[in-house]
Structure 1
Amino acid sequence: MEISIVTFHSTRGLSMASEDYSVYSGLTEDELISLAVERSLTDDHVSVDHTGHSKTPIVQSRPTIAGSISAHPHVAPPTDDTPCITLKNACTDPGPGARKCYSFINSDGQQYAAWRRYDGSMLVTLDPEPLDPVVKAIKSGAVSTLIEIAKTGICLTKQNKEGWISLHEAAYRGQTECLKVLLKLDHKMINARTFQDETPLFFAVSFEQVACSQWLLESGADPDISNKENETPLYTACERQNLDIVQLILKFKGKVNKICRQGCTALHEAVWRDNLEICHALLEAGADISIPNKYGITPLFAAAQGGCVKVLRFLIRHGADVNSHAADGATALYESSKNGHEEVVKILLSRNANANICTRGGLLPLHIAAKRGNERIVSILIPVTSKARVRRSGISPLHLAAERNKNEVLETLIEAGFDVNAMLSPDRSKMHEDRRSTALYFAICNNNTEAATMLLEAGANPNLDTFNPLLIAVRQGCIRTVTLLVEHGANVNAYIPTHPTSFPAAIMFCMKYLTLLKYLLDNGCDAQSCFQCEYGSGPHPPIETLHRPRDDIRYNVDVQNYIPVQFCEMISTPSVSRWAGPIIDVLLDYVGNVQLCARLIEHLDSYEDWGVIKEKSILPRPLMQLCRLRILSLLGAERMQLIDSLPIPGRLLKFLRHEERSSQL
């Protein structure tokens, strides 16, 4: 009978609760496998103690590779009194293609194995391989039994499938007396390596076995032998934050500046863990504070990145370069600004950190602080940031604040005098399909009326972008934003340069919003162009071949031979044609003598109730209508603001506002 199967979708994709991610996201594949097996067992089986109360069982397992779950700092290694579960009737055949990962034993001494199947699932079965008597003796600390086993001539340096020998087992278990016996029997095994190049000292340090570590060092163990990741015992002791073992290794002249495969030193590890005592011990032993890892990260950069204030001050006092930068050009100041470490930013600036060093991407610390929305750090950086340097970067912090809806930061930047009409550089603008350029455009795209108001009141020009922000607001159907833009001079007759139409593009986007359409027409949108059809009363192309409006605006460079879309074509699209009558009715209120083309007449003839609209277009138009148009044209673009100041009767005012249908004329 199978005991447990744990299925996962990839080597890093074990199913676990979201709250566990932050704890377990750093585990290796083997650690995740170990955790999955343990969870599966503990979830599916509950043992009962002698009092009758249930308790959560914990699998007591012996990891067989370095970096197993028991070695992880978040998970304590098992002890002999750890409660265990008893599994019975487990099959011993994991199936074809299965690979054994490791073994563990329960409280009754029964040995089980965890297998990885060909399909990625995990299976726990009885282990067909018997428990080594040497391992069993070391586990229980039976020194006399170990001596008797040695007398029988059994080889104590025989490696298991992971390369462990008896000395590794004793170091892992913290069995100092067993260590002494084994070294007395064969001292040459003191620096024996597993297949991952771990020595007994490495195991003792990894599992924080202080007594074993001391005995091994005193017996001549080499403290500088690293594993396959080039991690030394000193590096691992710093990772475990065990000051006693660190001092012990340094006492025995362990090399303090050896680097691991990622280029990190022991000092990097101590800094990342904000351990000032270990940092102090390492520097006294000669640690180099300027060694970068393979990503260019120095210990000071690591301290700034993690917000380690005490360690940062300590490193600066010992001469660390405050302007050191990583391989991507990010400085310690940039990284601390990015992560919101306000006190670190203040410390670095007080030590003359340069706020005008940009990353390879051209961003300054001020840019990233604005992007992350940290208003306090933005305020600190503004006085020390060159606006000329900001301009050369091709992007303003206003763009980033508007893009991320960081309104407080946006307000702070505006008050500091940053140009609200700053344009993205061509290279940065090309990164966006719509070729946006201004901070206002970002705000409108986010439908952030508050940000748009701040920018417009500060003098932002709403007509600088390739695609007018008003078109975005109209497409969103937000009358509040549309009103705001129009009041600040947005061009109501804007066109889409890459998708030409014979009429203003704003009309195309608000055909379903008659109130919005009327507002645009009241403010000067060109209704006349909707009735200037090139086909006139002649035959029109089939509807199937008409240009149809896109649901989004995308940039298309090749538009030289693009035939402008006619209004009658646009209104014939299936999604709009049912609104044709009311749309034409509204437009007729804003034009004089116009001729309806054959397609528009066809639409009006398609519905009996629309006959009155067709009659409305019969020439000539009423004199009152022509007079209204003349008055409005004389008032100009600000006609709606000027109408209320005219010394004319209220009924006439309503007529000029196209509100005559609500009056009793």
Structure 2
Amino acid sequence: ELLYAVEENNVECCRALIDHGADVNASGRYGMTALIYAVERNNVECCRALIDHGADVNVIDGNGKTALLYAVEENNVECCRALIDHGADVNASGRYGMTALIYAVERNNVECCRALIDHGTDVNARDDGWKTALMYAVEKNNVECCRALIDHGADVNASGDDEKTPLMYTVERNSVECCRALIDHGADVNASDDDGKSALMYAVENIDDVECCRALIDHGADVNASGGYGMTALMYAVEKNNVECCRALIDHGADVNASGRYGMTALIYAVKRNNVECCRALIDHGADVNASDHDGKSAVIYAVENIDNVECCRALIDHGADVNVIDGYRKTALIYAVEKNNVECCRAMIDHGADVNASDDDGKSALIYAVEENNVECWRALIDHGADVNVRNDVRKTALIYAVEKNNVECCRALIDHGADVNASDKNEKTTLMYA
């Protein structure tokens, strides 16, 4: 009956039952006692009555939780204070090793948090994931709890099982106030997690996190540190199109020519993401426009592969990018442009001296690619600029053979009009007419 009375917040019945000898520590389903029911439902009067009559404030239910854990979880401040005042263990932990303090900061229960701290709770206790209350506070952008924890000795450099520090959590969430508080109290701005990522790298990944980025840089964050796969903060910034952070890093000495995974530079990342502003900023600050990755692909090759990336392509060409660069497959930027039917880049490359007759490992020239894919404007531009209409690939097929094979009448006529050999045959002596 006592459990039902408490569950229904029936204070008079609760007092009457207690006065007549009801067991204040009896438990019901899941091992929950009357006191646990009372705090879970914020029944303050019942809670006080039970405590006054000897209810065990530290009993643990079937969920592994004490009354205090329920109180802070529900932001039940009065019950929380009453339990603490009557000896509740402020360091008891429940499931996953979460203490009352961790529950409090996770739910932004500031008053409960302060009450627990004032009564000596361990501010550096960790849950089963090795996370501290401070990590939860900054992760939730809980500024008041963050400051209270720091003021009472929380370790600002504690790291979890993934080696992430509170500073990393706070910049990841763009919690500027928490970030400044941590830095002001000695947080290591150059610590790195299991993936080798620093707080600065997390900051630049968030396009709204410019203030945190600047604060970290101003307090000595290494702008050239590299993390997993050799990625620097600058690479993360341009990959996320974070222009302001990109400029801030460059202004503070970030190496614009550092190479990371697969030999890719920040400029290559910028071009791959069609990040025009970052691309221009990098070029203006000395980025090598001809640097290539492990596949031999330079920024201009990546630019022409994206049909929407004309501005980056032009910026690179205007600043001296080699239009005849060859990658590991012996393909030129012009071949990639034609293959992707990137007409504007194709014309730009030709206008700036791209070799219209260069061929890849298979002996295929840009013209052969153009007619094979029926990229009309590209093959017209190539023919108009002197592409060899009789060039053969490794199987001795000409552009005209590909044109008739694809039943590309318009291209076939254009090639013939410009001198294509109508009697050319492939390596099997199959002539153009036979293909037709």
- For the superposition of Structure 1 and Structure 2, which TM-score range results when normalised by the shorter chain? 0.7 to 0.9
Displacement, 1:182? 2.2
Q: What corresponds to 2:336 in structure 1?
A: 400
Report SS of the residue matched to 1:158.
coil
**1:465 and 1:389, CA in 2 relative to 1: closer, same or farther beyond 3 A?**
closer
The correspondence for 2:415, drawn from 485, 506, 516, is 485
Q: What corresponds to 2:354 in structure 1?
A: 418
Q: CA RMSD in A?
A: 2.6
Q: Unaligned stretches of 5+ in structure 1?
A: 1-91, 93-106, 110-127, 430-434, 511-665
Report SS of the residue matched to 2:260.
coil
Alpha carbons 1:329, 1:359 under 8 Å: kept? yes
Q: What corresponds to 2:247 in structure 1?
A: 313
Report SS of the residue matched to 2:162.
coil
Displacement, 1:154? 5.2
Question: Does residue 448 of the first structure (1) align with residue 384 of the second (2)?
Answer: no
Letter in 2 for 1:135: L
Alpha carbons 1:176, 1:215 under 8 Å: kept? no
Displacement, 1:213? 0.7
Question: Does residue 509 of the first structure (1) align with residue 435 of the second (2)?
Answer: yes
**1:392 and 1:141, CA in 2 relative to 1: closer, same or farther beyond 3 A?**
closer
Q: CA separation in 2, counterparts of 1:179 and 1:318?
A: 39
Report SS of the residue matched to 2:128.
coil
Q: CA separation in 2, counterparts of 1:385 and 1:422?
A: 19
Letter in 2 for 1:509: Y
5 Å-filtered alignment, 1:9-24, equals none
Q: What corresponds to 1:352 in structure 2?
A: 286
Displacement, 1:375? 2.2
The correspondence for 1:242, drawn from 157, 170, 175, is 175
Alpha carbons 1:471, 1:506 under 8 Å: kept? yes
Q: What corresponds to 1:207 in structure 2?
A: 140
Deviations 1:343-368 (A, max 9, x none): 32222222222112111110111111
Question: Does residue 473 of the first structure (1) align with residue 408 of the second (2)?
Answer: no
5 Å-filtered alignment, 1:260-299, equals 260-274=193-207, 275-299=209-233
Question: Does residue 232 of the first structure (1) align with residue 165 of the second (2)?
Answer: yes
The correspondence for 1:365, drawn from 283, 299, 302, is 299
Q: What corresponds to 2:153 in structure 1?
A: 220
- The sequence identity of aligned pairs, in percent, is 28
Letter in 1 for 2:432: A
Q: What corresponds to 1:464 in structure 2?
A: 392
Deviations 1:635-661 (A, max 9, x none): xxxxxxxxxxxxxxxxxxxxxxxxxxx
Letter in 2 for 1:294: G
**1:131 and 1:298, CA in 2 relative to 1: closer, same or farther beyond 3 A?**
same
Q: Unaligned stretches of 5+ in structure 2?
A: 1-29, 31-39, 43-61
Deviations 1:124-166 (A, max 9, x none): xxxx859753233113332332244346655443333322121
Deviations 1:529-581 (A, max 9, x none): xxxxxxxxxxxxxxxxxxxxxxxxxxxxxxxxxxxxxxxxxxxxxxxxxxxxx
**1:237 and 1:384, CA in 2 relative to 1: closer, same or farther beyond 3 A?**
same
Displacement, 1:290? 0.9
Displacement, 1:391? 4.8
Displacement, 1:392? 7.5
Q: What corresponds to 2:7 in structure 1?
A: none
Moved over 6 A (4+): none
Q: What corresponds to 1:53 in structure 2?
A: none
Q: CA separation in 1, counterparts of 2:271 and 2:407?
A: 37
Q: CA separation in 2, counterparts of 1:220 and 1:208?
A: 19
Alpha carbons 1:208, 1:245 under 8 Å: kept? yes
Q: CA separation in 2, counterparts of 1:132 and 1:173?
A: 17
Q: What corresponds to 1:385 in structure 2?
A: 320
Report SS of the residue matched to 2:369.
helix
Question: Does residue 438 of the first structure (1) align with residue 368 of the second (2)?
Answer: no
Q: CA separation in 2, counterparts of 1:355 and 1:450?
A: 27
Letter in 2 for 1:140: E
Q: What corresponds to 2:13 in structure 1?
A: none
Aligned residues: 374
Q: CA separation in 2, counterparts of 1:132 and 1:478?
A: 79
Letter in 2 for 1:453: R
5 Å-filtered alignment, 1:494-643, equals 494-497=424-427, 500=428, 504-510=430-436
Question: Does residue 304 of the first structure (1) align with residue 238 of the second (2)?
Answer: yes
Displacement, 1:197? 0.8
Q: CA separation in 1, counterparts of 2:384 and 2:393?
A: 18
Report SS of the residue matched to 2:130.
coil
**1:284 and 1:384, CA in 2 relative to 1: closer, same or farther beyond 3 A?**
closer
Letter in 2 for 1:344: C
Letter in 2 for 1:465: N
Report SS of the residue matched to 1:162.
helix
Deviations 1:449-471 (A, max 9, x none): 22111111211123322332323
Question: Does residue 339 of the first structure (1) align with residue 281 of the second (2)?
Answer: no
Deviations 1:39-79 (A, max 9, x none): xxxxxxxxxxxxxxxxxxxxxxxxxxxxxxxxxxxxxxxxx
Q: CA separation in 1, counterparts of 2:412 and 2:129?
A: 66
Report SS of the residue matched to 2:353.
coil
**1:156 and 1:508, CA in 2 relative to 1: closer, same or farther beyond 3 A?**
farther
Displacement, 1:317? 2.1
Displacement, 1:299? 1.6
Displacement, 1:230? 1.5
Letter in 2 for 1:376: E
**1:327 and 1:392, CA in 2 relative to 1: closer, same or farther beyond 3 A?**
closer
Report SS of the residue matched to 1:191.
coil
Q: CA separation in 2, counterparts of 1:319 and 1:260?
A: 23
Report SS of the residue matched to 1:190.
coil
Alpha carbons 2:335, 2:369 under 8 Å: kept? yes
Displacement, 1:302? 2.4
Q: CA separation in 1, counterparts of 2:282 and 2:86?
A: 66
Stretch of structure 1 that moved more, 229-238 or 470-479: 470-479
Alpha carbons 2:290, 2:322 under 8 Å: kept? no
The correspondence for 1:182, drawn from 116, 128, 134, is 116
Alpha carbons 1:191, 1:221 under 8 Å: kept? yes
Report SS of the residue matched to 1:222.
coil
Report SS of the residue matched to 2:213.
helix
Q: What corresponds to 2:37 in structure 1?
A: none
Alpha carbons 1:366, 1:385 under 8 Å: kept? no
Q: CA separation in 2, counterparts of 1:447 and 1:392?
A: 24
5 Å-filtered alignment, 1:54-73, equals none
Q: CA separation in 2, counterparts of 1:306 and 1:325?
A: 17
**1:437 and 1:415, CA in 2 relative to 1: closer, same or farther beyond 3 A?**
same
Q: What corresponds to 1:633 in structure 2?
A: none
Q: What corresponds to 2:6 in structure 1?
A: none
Alpha carbons 2:331, 2:359 under 8 Å: kept? yes
Report SS of the residue matched to 2:256.
coil
Alpha carbons 2:324, 2:333 under 8 Å: kept? no
Q: What corresponds to 1:100 in structure 2?
A: none
Which protein has greater RCO, CA pairs closer than 8 Å, 6+ apart?
2
Structure-2-length-normalised TM-score: 0.79
**1:415 and 1:165, CA in 2 relative to 1: closer, same or farther beyond 3 A?**
same
Q: CA separation in 1, counterparts of 2:252 and 2:338?
A: 41
Letter in 2 for 1:438: S
Alpha carbons 1:356, 1:389 under 8 Å: kept? no
